[in-house]
Copies of this chain bind each other. A is one copy, B any other.
Amino acid sequence: MTDDIRLCRTFQTAPAAVPKDDSAKYLTSGLEADGFQAPDWLVPDLEDGTAPDMKAEGLENTIEKVPEYEFPGEIWPRVEWSYEDETYREKGRNQIDRLVSEIGDEIDGVVVPKVGRLEDVKHAAEAVAEAESEHGYADGSIGLSIIIETGRARSDLREIARFGEDSRLTALVFGPVDYAAELGGRDLGDGMPRWDGLLEALSNEASAGGLLSIGGPFDDLFKERAGLTYYNADEYADQVEHEARLGLDGSWSLYPKQTIQANTVHMPTPDELERDVSKIERFNEAKREGTGAVTLDGQMVDEATFKNFRNTVQQVRAIHDTRPEQAEEYYDGDLLERALELELSYR
């Protein structure tokens, strides 16, 4: 994390069109969501979430609905693409062009799935650059996020993230279903692997390249036990907490209840905030008294330790900027005020 936190606790995909009377039902409910159900990023999904014969309608829904709402988070439509199939890349380029042309002011970028090696990621970046320039947008104003879901993209992850340092690349998102299919991973009764090596590398390379890292979708939305079918809150929370521990910036959500959970886990707890605000307050006071080294609870506070405290406060400030109602609901008013007013420099 850098000083300037870009928030993406939740990367919520919503099918851009579904075979219902209101084909934009899930898209509009994402745009309208409030409280903790409101995602940081809403991803109108023109790829695997929308059926082949509804793609065109999904694109029109996106173009029509997104401008109707003042969505406080970011909007990132997912288009079609495939490193191994030019047909899909052509579709993707056309979708990007339409989106930038029609709602370039309303979207923060596009999400490109199934990228392959670095060269393919560069092709995706060029497709965005062309649409941008064609429709009169400033260079870099339309971002690019990619789904890491092929062996080749994982193989080139370091190079892709380095390319990201000076490019429109914004987030690296994990896509476990395609990934497992490519590698031939198998569920022998206790689920697919978590791909811990990949997750750790994703967190590291995103951090080294100044990018965001986001976990993959969890689609066992419901569980059935003793005759009752109920929302599978525990397993999703386990996954999101695992991602948070490893330093991923956010988690993928497929469903409003998942958004509540991912928003909450990727938010410092009130105890964490109280602890770190109070440490910084005491640190600042000791600094003012000029004793040189600052010791708190018997431990000397060095810059590394201080950075950990500061991360907590900066994350809360970024949430308060975008979703003030979440911050206000979650934290005591006094504590939140202290977090917003704190001086955050180490020296």
CB distance from A80 to the nearest CB of B (A): 10
Cβ of A241 < 8 Å from any Cβ of B? yes
Cβ of A311 < 8 Å from any Cβ of B? yes
CB distance from A38 to the nearest CB of B (A): 22
Is the Cβ of A188 less than 8 Å from the Cβ of B245? Answer: yes
CB neighbours (8 Å) of A192 from chain B are: 245
Cα distance A247–B154 in the bound complex, in angstroms: 14
CB neighbours (8 Å) of A177 from chain B are: 304-305, 308
CB distance from A209 to the nearest CB of B (A): 8
Is the Cβ of A204 less than 8 Å from the Cβ of B302? Answer: no
Cβ of A223 < 8 Å from any Cβ of B? no
Known contacts A181-B308, A181-B311, A208-B152, A241 near B188 by CB under 8 Å? yes
Cβ of A25 < 8 Å from any Cβ of B? no
Cβ of A285 < 8 Å from any Cβ of B? no
User: Of B149, B184, B249, B304, which one neighbours A247 at CB under 8 angstroms?
Assistant: B184
Is the Cβ of A249 less than 8 Å from the Cβ of B204? Answer: no
Cβ of A327 < 8 Å from any Cβ of B? no
CB distance from A220 to the nearest CB of B (A): 11
CB neighbours (8 Å) of A260 from chain B are: none
Known contacts A52-B293, A177-B305, A304-B48, A245 near B201 by CB under 8 Å? no
CB neighbours (8 Å) of A204 from chain B are: 151, 154-155, 183, 198
User: Of B49, B185, B249, which one neighbours A184 at CB under 8 angstroms?
Assistant: B249
Cα distance A208–B153 in the bound complex, in angstroms: 8
CB neighbours (8 Å) of A293 from chain B are: 19, 51-54
Tallying the copies of this chain within the complex gives 3
Known contacts A207-B183, A304-B178, A193 near B155 by CB under 8 Å? no
Q: Which of A233-287 contact B (CB under 8 A)?
A: 241, 244-247, 249, 265
CB neighbours (8 Å) of A155 from chain B are: 158, 161-162, 204-205, 208-209
Contact mask for chain A residues 296-317; partner B; CB cutoff 8 A; 1 contact, 0 none: 0001101111011001000000
How many residues of A are counted as interface, with CB atoms below 8 angstroms from the partner's CB atoms? 62
User: Of B54, B200, B249, which one neighbours A197 at CB under 8 angstroms?
Assistant: B200
Chain B's closest residue to A290 (CB) is: B53
CB distance from A85 to the nearest CB of B (A): 10
Is the Cβ of B244 less than 8 Å from the Cβ of A186? Answer: yes
CB neighbours (8 Å) of A180 from chain B are: 247, 308
CB neighbours (8 Å) of A209 from chain B are: 155
Cβ of A328 < 8 Å from any Cβ of B? no
Cβ of A21 < 8 Å from any Cβ of B? no
Cβ of A292 < 8 Å from any Cβ of B? yes
Q: Which of A166-202 contact B (CB under 8 A)?
A: 175, 177-178, 180-188, 192-193, 195-198, 200-201
CB neighbours (8 Å) of A193 from chain B are: 200, 245-246
Known contacts A1-B184, A183-B247, A247-B185, A51 near B300 by CB under 8 Å? yes
Cβ of A145 < 8 Å from any Cβ of B? no
Known contacts A155-B161, A203-B183, A293-B19, A302 near B247 by CB under 8 Å? no
Name 8 A/B residue pairs within 8 A (Cβ), A-sorted.
A1-B182, A1-B183, A155-B158, A155-B162, A177-B305, A182-B307, A184-B207, A185-B247
